[in-house]
Copies of this chain bind each other. A is one copy, B any other.
C-alpha cells in the first residue's frame, strides 16, 4: 500500500489463478488446460511468421482472423470481436455493458473473476443461487432487472444449460445485455452463437485456451449484434489498440482451419472424462455430469482421516504432495468438492492410483 495508489487499487481483491507449478513428475489437473498439444498446423503457422510481421504493428482489427471465425460460425465479420484471451474480452464487456446503475446478475457459484470485475468498476451485483443439485435455473434470473452473465457450462460445476432454456430467458430479458461465457462450450454444451442475430442484447464469449489447446497464446472471441461488437471495439480502442499480436492472429486462423484435429482431441477428452467419472463414482465420489474439460467431484467422507479438515481438502493436499495438482476452494458448498481437469488417459490413471494409495 502506498499513498500513490488510487482508491480503486486499494479496494481491489485480485483474481488468483491456479498454481502453475511445473517440473518432472507433475500431473497438472488444476487449470483446465488441454492435455493435447495444439494442431500441427498451428506449429507450422508459427514457423511461417515472418520477421517483417514482427517488426510491424499487427492488424489492430484482426480482420483475417475475424473473417475465419465469422465463416466458421456462420455470422458476419461485424458480429465478431477478438481479444487477448476471453478474460480481456470479459474485462472490456463489463466496462462497456455492465457499468449501468442496475445490479449485474450472476450465479453464486461461478467463475470467480466476475466479482473481481465488479469490484474493479464498482458494479453492484445481484447473486443468483444455484439449485440444491448445483444446476443453474434460468428462472432465478429477474428479466430486465439488470444485465446477466453466466458461463455455459458453469464452472466449477461443469453443468450445462440447454439452448432452449437460454432462448426462453432471452424472450423475456430484452432490455439489458445477456452475456453467455462459453469458455468450455466445445466440450458438450449447446452454443448460443447461432442466436446472436435474433437478439441484439446477446453477447457470447469463447476462448482458444481450452478446446483448442492454446492457453499459452491468449486468444478469445466474442459474438454479438453489430452494435455490441462496436461497443467492445470502442472500449478496446480506448484501452489498447493492438491486444492480439501477429503470431496469435496467425495461430487462431490455423487452428480454425484444422477441424479434424480439433474434433479428434475433443473426443479423446470426452472419453477420458467419461472413464474418470465412472472410476470416481465406483469409489463413492459424487460426480456432477460434466459438459466441460473438468469434472466436479464430491469426496466421500470415509476417505478422510480423523482430522477436522474436510475430506476433500485432505485429499487435495495428499494429491498435491504426490505431484497431482487439482483445484480446491474452502468455501461454503464447495469445501467437500474437488475440480479435476481432464488430462490424458495416463494422467487420469495416475490420479486414480494416487487416490487408491
Contact = CB atoms under 8 A, between A and B. Distances in A.
Interface of A: 1-9, 12-17, 20, 22, 28, 31, 33-38, 42-43, 46-47, 49, 51-60, 84-85, 87-88, 91, 95-100, 116-117, 119-120, 175-177, 200-201, 209, 213-218, 225, 227-228, 231, 233-248, 251
Given A216-B57, A235-B12, A245-B218, A97 B240 contact: no
Nearest to A120: B238
B240 A85 contact: yes
A254 to B, nearest CB: 11
Q: Which 5 A-B pairs have the closest CB atoms?
A: A37-B51, A14-B237, A216-B246, A2-B227, A54-B216
A214 B55 contact: yes
A301 to B, nearest CB: 33
Contacts of A20: 56-57, 59-60
Contacts of A218: 58, 242-245
A37 B55 contact: yes
A2 B234 CA distance: 13
A139 B210 CA distance: 53
A20 B241 CA distance: 12
Contacts of A16: 237
A88 B42 contact: no
A109 B326 CA distance: 53
A95 B12 CA distance: 12
Given A31-B57, A60-B17, A237-B15, A200 B2 contact: yes
A87 B240 contact: yes
**Which residue of A17, A218, A225 has the most chain B CB atoms within 10 A of its CB atom?**
A218
A264 B241 CA distance: 30
A249 to B, nearest CB: 9
Nearest to A31: B57
Given A6-B97, A38-B55, A54-B37, A116 B14 contact: no
Contacts of A7: 99
A194 to B, nearest CB: 20
A24 B49 CA distance: 18
Nearest to A208: B54
Contact of A6 (B96, B175, B216): B96
B4 A231 contact: yes
